[in-house]
Structure 1
Amino acid sequence: METWRWRSRDERAPVWPGHSWPLGASWSEEATNFAVYAPEATAMWVCVFDDDDRETSYQLTEHTLGIWHGAVPGLPLGTRYGLRAFGPWQPEQGLRFNPHKLLIDPYAKAVSGELVPGPAIYAHDLDNPERPSTADSAAAMPKSIVVRDEFDWGPGGDPPMRRRWRDSVIYELHVKGYTKLHQEIPEELRGTYAGLASPQVIDYLKELGVTAVELLPIHQFYSEPRLSGHGLVNYWGYNSLAFFAPHGAYSSAGDRGGQVREFKQMVKTFHEAGIEVILDVVYNHTAEGGADGPSLSFRGLDDRGFYKRVAVENEDEELPPHARFDDTYWDVTGCGNTVNAGNPQALRLILDSLRYWVNEMHVDGFRFDLLSALTRTGYSVDMSGHLLTTIGQDPALRHAKLIAEPWDASGDGYRVGEYPPPWVEWNDQFRDTMRDFWRGTSEGIRDVATRLAGSSDLYADDGRSPYASVNFVTAHDGFTLRDLVSYEHKHNEVNGEDNQDGTDDNRSQNCGIEGETDDPEIVALRQRIAANLMITLCLSNGVPMITAGDERGRTQRGNNNPYAQDNEISWVDWRPDDAWLGMWEMTRTALRIRRDHATLRQRHWFEGRPAITGGPKDLAWIHPDGREMTAEDWHDPALRVIGMFVSGDPIRSPGPRGEQMRDASFLIWFNGADVDREVRLPVNAWVQAGHVVISTDDKMRTGTSVRAGDAFLLRARSLVVLQED
């Protein structure tokens, strides 16, 4: 073991004993308290930088239960600082202390500056990884910021919105990419939190019918050195490092603490408009990557405790499933490391971060990236494990909106339908089923009907409701809706990976020509199929999630993995000349119908029988011949046309005082075949007459009247929504 001593620029700087709680930097006019968890470090220094980058070091002399702490008097708000940790260098044991490396405080509320790639940011010598690097990383490292932001949330304190799940419509967007090209927003605000909170955006989202924005990662993140070496950046942001700090590059107010206030103002503005804010959070791995990655924060403080490791006693021992042997790191995220949420301090940090964003930043919920990676006890996914249990018991978190991405990068991590209440889940089975149906490759109609009705096969058995299914047909990861009907193959050449990155299982179609075309028939077909997918998403039971720009025909030019494309490929194009303006109107209309009719957003499962004696079935499936589906029909692999009757007379879900609620009934016809098909309206006492409220069949226009027993020719690849008169 090698040891050495970092020479402070000013070893006489005074430090008071301070307190071991709260962790991070806590400012007061008298002194700033610093508390850092590093149980196996032998010494800890806080290094303060002035505007000329001169460094002054303060040794934290107190060590309580693994936490180094001390209070430095007289520091102003906005002070830039970092940490230097002393301790043993034994990488094979998970001990990677190197005081030559300036570290970001894991509890920093703001971070300033860019990460400069190069040998200095690595704790090990790149030429001899077994030896520690002696290069000082301070000039290459971002700095933590001392902040205390007192913010006026208004008379009501801006409590979280907490809209009911069944009334929610989620809109997934990227903070920078959504407004970067918006010509009606002042240039200095484009791509920022302030730009996102502009009246132009708020009015647009309200008119569309959005109730919640789900922001791609906004925790402070950094690009992988591999990307930086190719002149690229991690645009999506799934490479977090500081879990309490809003990403500084998205701030128009600067990154010396202004990002905190600007983020809060954005949340307040959304709440005033009745729109919730949900964060896509990445706690499963960090920007430090694999064992050969840089030392930026956790690796230099508690590498052994924070990252999940392979327990190998000897060279002949068999590695656990899906283990990637990388200097004892165990990786089920595909990003080089996996955060060990079973470690008490790592778990505490995740929970403290979540509480901070709820209590201090007033966000309404979280979507957890690769959640299965965090739910493991040992190597196995455990639905009663530490993280899920503690969140479920926490009074600040258990009522927040909790969305699971119910898989990780391993095979055994795929757990769609298995997360406990109150979790809801991204339902990729809805995505795949609807893509197959509308491209004409589904085998029959059984799976389609199950997904339309809320995926009871996944969520009914554990007491959850249909809204446990967050339905989507596209997301940030994959083709946009326009590209889904314009490309049969990915075109990721600009990513610099020889088109090997990104999934090949796109379940897409190009309607006859690969890529963009001026052929009016093909363009019309593409827009019709895209509208089918969007309307199906909006009117299915469950919670719809729309990807930003899909409602106006945004394209990524066939790139299904533009995570490193911080340019026009990824940004939303607001110009009207290339927009699919019909898609906008279809989406807005479908969401209005959903909002106005409780029939289409029910809390209880359909039972296929009357909600009251003598009434209509709450849900009935209609064969194109005008009769109810039979067991034989459900097993017909060639059937790709079906009618879905949903009764609102009454709906099964009771009113607020237990009263029966009555609403309109609907019959929705879906034709996923590539041929026209005559469909006949059933003759019964349920519905005698109705009219078209939305349609992708240009012969069945909005307002067209229909009566029981009528028949009409339903166009290939189209749908018609009928509402009773």
Structure 2
Amino acid sequence: MGFSITAERGAPARLGANVAADGVSFAVHSGNAARVLLCLFDGSGEREIARLPLARQGDTHFGFVPGLAEGARYGLRAEGPWAPEAGHRFDPSKLLVDPYAVALDRPYRFDPVLTAPRQAGLDSAAVVPRAVVAKLDRTAAPLPFAPPGLTYETSVRAFSMRHASVPERVRGTVAALAEPAVLDHLVRIGVGSVELMPLAGWIDEAHLVCLGLCNAWGYNPIAHMAPDPRLAPGGWPEIRRSVEALHARGLRVLLDVVLNHSGEGPVEGPTLAYRGLDNALYYRHAEGQPGTLVNDTGTGNTFACDRAPVVALFLECLRTWVEVGGIDGFRYDLGTVLGRDDHGFRPDAPLLAAIAADPVLKDRIHVAEPWDVGPGGYRIGEFRPPFLEWQDRFRDDVRRFWRGESGRVGALATRLCGSPDLFDRFNRAPSVGVNFVAAHDGFSLADIVAYETKHNEANGEGNRDGHGENHSWNNGVEGPTDDPAILAARGRDLRALLATLFLSRGTPMLVAGDEFGRTQNGNNNAYAQDNATTWLDWDAADEALIRFVAALSALRRSHPALRLDAFPSGRPLPGTDVPDVSWLRADGSAMEADDWNDPERRLLVLQFAAPGADGRPARLLLAFNAGMKDAAIALPPAAPGERLVLALQSDCPDLLPRPLDPAHGLVVKARSVFVVTAEVVEPADGIP
């Protein structure tokens, strides 16, 4: 049948494609386009069957197509000036994907035709996905707000590609997350929230295609509210089913969203959506140079997140993931961009303020990566509620302490206390800081103790990419070894890093596979490795390490002094003479200035205390020994009705808890973490 378009029944206030009983309304924002055309395709998506000009009201181009139904495939073309020096790059030979698209009929793939200039006249329709008209069910129910707890960052594809208990048909997809073996593992290690790396439709960078590689992480999006068909071939229903399965086990789901840039990249990059619809509007340009894109992201373009149409687009994007997918919250890649205007960053910028005030979003979990690569881009500690923040200071200070650097005990103490130097303002709590020792970008946890330098040769960039300063060490041999002593040392250091993460105040984050010793063979920028480098090797999982992580997680959940979400002050708990934190010398006396300033000190001993369930202080002694020699320490006396118990020692993770005699002290083994708890005993038990 032939299709026509009318403005009389159009809905310019509702952007995107919206299904009515007898047709579909379309609306798209472009202030600088002369005309926007709606392109309709047949059921296969291969043949264009209609090209219809949209009417215009202000900066909105809109129309209603009678007889069109859910499942229809469409794209856009925009006419206007080709004036790159003024920021305009309109090219009607480029088929464009609607920024409000909620479904795609195929993945993006890079092709040189996408970068051809207008004068070449090369039509791009053959290589561009079609948006699919969909009537979404917006009744998903995220879990009630709660702090995220242990956050488990994972790439959907890498997580399950080699998981023997996941059916082959769903490996590498969102559906794998609903499999019983996956859910059991997450619950076993005490995960509170699963943080999924991007799911939105993305495109590979041109240079990767030339190298025969592809983007394995998805941080190069085009359609921000449309699931990528490679990760969610079942679309929104698949996402919702998996989220509901995670919810049923008490797990929240966070989604990593990339609202700072698009996969269109620099000006010489592909034209797929925003560039073709209104390059001057959607992207930020250099002051006085409208043809030069600002590159605060390191990817060649930066969204102008302070402009009203961009704010509206991203709010709708986030609401869609919540209302349709059931997502509980978001992690914002290069979050500083979201707070930038033409003058720099401010925490009350339009998009950040709108997220905090939005009725759907305000009670969700929001985690900012508080930096970008632009001027003044490092803003950790400067976001306002409700935003949590990634904590790279924790990562670096913990690594440097365990690497054995001089003078690091003070920095470690600050991180153990929840980083009050960063977050003790704006009425915030330690849980605002998301602590991690490893993240998706950088070394895996096991590689931190096995590689002194990065090994990114497989990325095809001459090992120039990735972080240069990793604060890592190799324990004597770079990379793989069969030496039992070196392997034992690496295991010991790995467990010490994990223990430090779980025993620190704040929100801990663990990368999928780090709980069982995954390696990336020294690649600290594995975004281009959609292969065994990033695919988790479940068959090689270290079961003993999984048990250790589960024990750490259980200890954190069970002890009041580790659950407490407050910055310790050193003052006594109410009604007691027990300080909420005490810093101790090896002989049990309080640390003095000389101790803190001793560059050779590698031992840090402290006691955390919190109100206990029975009214008495719940005490926890922690000892961190980064030295190469064992250290004898004094133990505090047990209070009446209590006994001291060595609850955990990282050098011998399978040892059962055992009572201690305070009079005999304790020897903290080299390169290890010891945890001593004060436990209430029944009178019949006696006190050892």
TM-score, normalised via structure 2 length = 0.95
Query: Of 146, 153, 164, which aligns to 2:133?
Result: 146
The residue that corresponds to 2:124 in the other structure is 137
| TM-score, scaled relative to structure 1 | 0.90
Secondary structure at the residue paired with 2:230? helix
Letter in 1 for 2:127: A
Amino acid of the structure 2 residue aligned with 1:611: L
Report if the CA contact (8 A) 2:141-2:326 is conserved.
Answer: yes
SS state of the match for residue 497, structure 2? helix
TM-fit CA distance, 1:616: 1.0
- Indicate the residue corresponding to 1:3 in structure 2: none
Is the 8 Å Cα contact of residues 189 and 195 (structure 1) preserved in structure 2?
Answer: yes
| Alpha-carbon distance between aligned partners in 2 of 1:711 and 1:603, rounded to the nearest angstrom | 30
Is it true that 1:22 corresponds to 2:3 in the alignment? no
Distance in 1 of aligned mates of 2:479 and 2:661: 42
- Distance, in Å, in 2 between the alignment partners of 1:598 and 1:192 is 38
Quote the offset at 1:103 in angstroms.
Answer: 0.2
- Of 651, 654, 669, which residue of structure 1 is paired with 2:623? 669
1:690 to 2:634 alignment: no
Secondary structure, counterpart of 1:648 in structure 2: strand
Residue from 267, 271, 275 that aligns with 2:247? 271
Q: How does 1:193-592 map to 2 (within 5 A)?
A: 193-251=174-232, 254=233, 258-312=234-288, 327-575=291-539, 578-592=540-554
Task: Say if 2:621 is the partner of 1:638.
Answer: no
2:236/2:324 contact within 8 Å kept: no
Kindly provide the amino acid, as one letter, of the partner of residue 239 in structure 1. Answer: N
Q: Deviations over 1:189-235 (max 9, x none)?
A: 10111112111111110111001000111111111122112111111
Output the CA distance in 1 between the equivalents of 2:642 and 2:325.
52
- Structure 1 residue 337: deviation in Å? 0.3
Equivalent positions of 1:87-102 (< 5 A) are 87-102=80-95
Q: Distance in 2 between matches of 1:686 and 1:401?
A: 42
Contact in 2 for aligned 1:158/1:271 (Cα 8 Å): no
Question: Does the 8 A contact of 1:58 with 1:72 survive in 2?
Answer: no
Q: Distance in 2 between matches of 1:94 and 1:621?
A: 59
Q: CA deviation at 1:708?
A: 2.7
Deviation at 1:628, TM superposition (A): 1.7
Aligned CA-pair RMSD: 2.0
Change (3 A) 1:650 1:609: farther
* Residues 140 and 230 (structure 1), Cα distance of their counterparts in 2 relative to 1, 3 Å cut: same
Once residues 172 and 43 of structure 1 are traced to their aligned partners in structure 2, the CA distance between those partners, rounded to angstroms, is 43
Specify which of 181, 184, 195 is matched with residue 162 of structure 2. 181
Contact 1:45 1:57 in 2 (8 A): no
Q: Tell me by how many angstroms 1:293 deviates.
A: 0.7
Deviations 1:587-632 (A, max 9, x none): 0000011112232021222121111233311111111121121222
> Which residue identity is paired with 2:245?
T
Alpha-carbon distance in structure 1 between the residues aligned to 2:465 and 2:45: 42
Q: CA deviation at 1:377?
A: 2.2
Q: Describe the shift of the 1:650–1:289 C-alpha distance in structure 2 as closer, same or farther (beyond 3 A).
A: same
Question: Greater shift after overlay, 609-618 or 329-338?
Answer: 609-618
The whole-number CA distance in structure 2 between the counterparts of 1:688 and 1:477 is 45
Confirm or deny that 1:73 pairs with 2:80.
Answer: no
Check whether the contact 2:295–2:301 (CA below 8 A) recurs between aligned residues: yes
In the TM superposition, what is the alpha-carbon distance from 1:701 to its structure 2 partner? 3.6
**Percent identity of paired positions between Structure 1 and Structure 2:** 40
Change (3 A) 1:243 1:117: closer
CA distance in 2, matches of 1:547, 1:593: 19
Paired amino acid for 2:84: P
The DSSP-based 3-state class of the residue aligned with 1:206 is helix
Kept in 2: contact 1:89–1:132 (CA 8 A): no
Report the residue type matching 2:15 in the other structure: L
Q: Is the 8 A contact 1:650 1:662 kept in 2?
A: yes
Would the aligned equivalents of 1:13 and 1:58 in 2 still touch at CA under 8 Å?
A: no
Moved more, 663-672 or 489-498: 663-672
Gaps of 5+ in 2: 680-688
Contact persistence 1:79–1:146 (CA under 8 A): yes
Instruction: Work out whether residues 142 and 322 of structure 2, in 8 Å CA contact, stay in contact via their aligned partners in 1.
Output: no
> Does the CA contact (< 8 Å) of 2:455 and 2:524 recur in 1?
yes
Contact 1:615 1:649 in 2 (8 A): no
- Summarize deviations over 1:418-459 as a string: whole Å, max 9, x none: 111221111111100110111111414111111001101111
In the TM superposition, what whole-angstrom CA distance separates every residue of 1:459-508 from its partner, at most 9, and x where no partner exists? 11322101111100000001101111111011111110111111111111
Distance 2:557 2:262 in 1: 39
**1:55 counterpart (48, 53, 57):** 48
Deviation of 1:649 (Å): 4.0
Change (3 A) 1:700 1:26: closer
Code of the residue aligned with 1:723 in structure 2: it is: T
Matched position secondary structure for 2:538: coil
Separation in structure 2 between the aligned mates of residue 649 and residue 41 of structure 1, nearest angstrom: 63
Residue 677 of structure 1, CA deviation: 1.4
CA displacement, residues 365-413 of structure 1 (integer Å, 9 cap, x when unaligned): 1111111122112141112221222222222222211111010013510
Using the alignment, how far apart are the partners of 1:240 and 1:635 within structure 2? 48
**How has the CA–CA distance of structure 1 residues 43 and 444 changed in structure 2, closer, same or farther, with 3 Å as cutoff?**
closer
The one-letter code of the counterpart of 2:67 is G
Distance 1:332 1:698 in 2: 46
Given that 2:586 and 2:605 are in contact with CA atoms closer than 8 Å, whether structure 1 keeps it comes out as yes
Offset at residue 22 of structure 1 (A): 1.4
Given that 1:700 and 1:720 are in contact with CA atoms closer than 8 Å, whether structure 2 keeps it comes out as no
Q: Distance in 2 between matches of 1:698 and 1:367?
A: 35
1:533-565 superposed Cα distances (whole Å, 9 cap, x missing partner): 111111210000001000000011111111000
Does 2:91 align with 1:108? no
Structure 1 residues 630 and 260, CA gap change in structure 2 (3 angstroms)? same
The match for 2:559 is 597
Partner of residue 122 from structure 1, selected from 105, 115, 128: 115
1:679 & 1:493 partners in 2: Cα distance? 46
Shift of 1:298: 0.4
Amino acid at match of 1:338: T
> Which sits farther off after the overlay, 530-539 or 702-711?
702-711
Q: Tell me if the contact between 1:466 and 1:603 (Cα under 8 Å) persists in the aligned partners.
A: yes
Partners of 1:701 and 1:681 in 2: CA distance = 20
Alpha-carbon distance in 2 for matches of 1:308, 1:212: 34
Shift of 1:662: 5.7
Give the unaligned 5+ runs of structure 1: 1-9, 125-130, 314-325, 652-659
1:323 alignment counterpart: none
Amino acid at match of 2:16: G
Are 1:14 and 1:58, in contact at CA under 8 Å, matched by a contact in 2?
A: no
- Distance in 2 between the 1:73 and 1:104 partners? 21
Matched positions, count = 676
Counterpart in the other structure of 1:657: none
Secondary structure of 2:281 counterpart: helix
The answer as to whether partners of 2:54 and 2:63 remain within 8 angstroms in 1 is yes
Deviation of residue 661 (structure 1)?
6.1
**How far, CA to CA, are the matches of 2:187 and 2:617 in structure 1?**
24
Is the counterpart of residue 160 in structure 1 residue 122 in structure 2? Answer: no
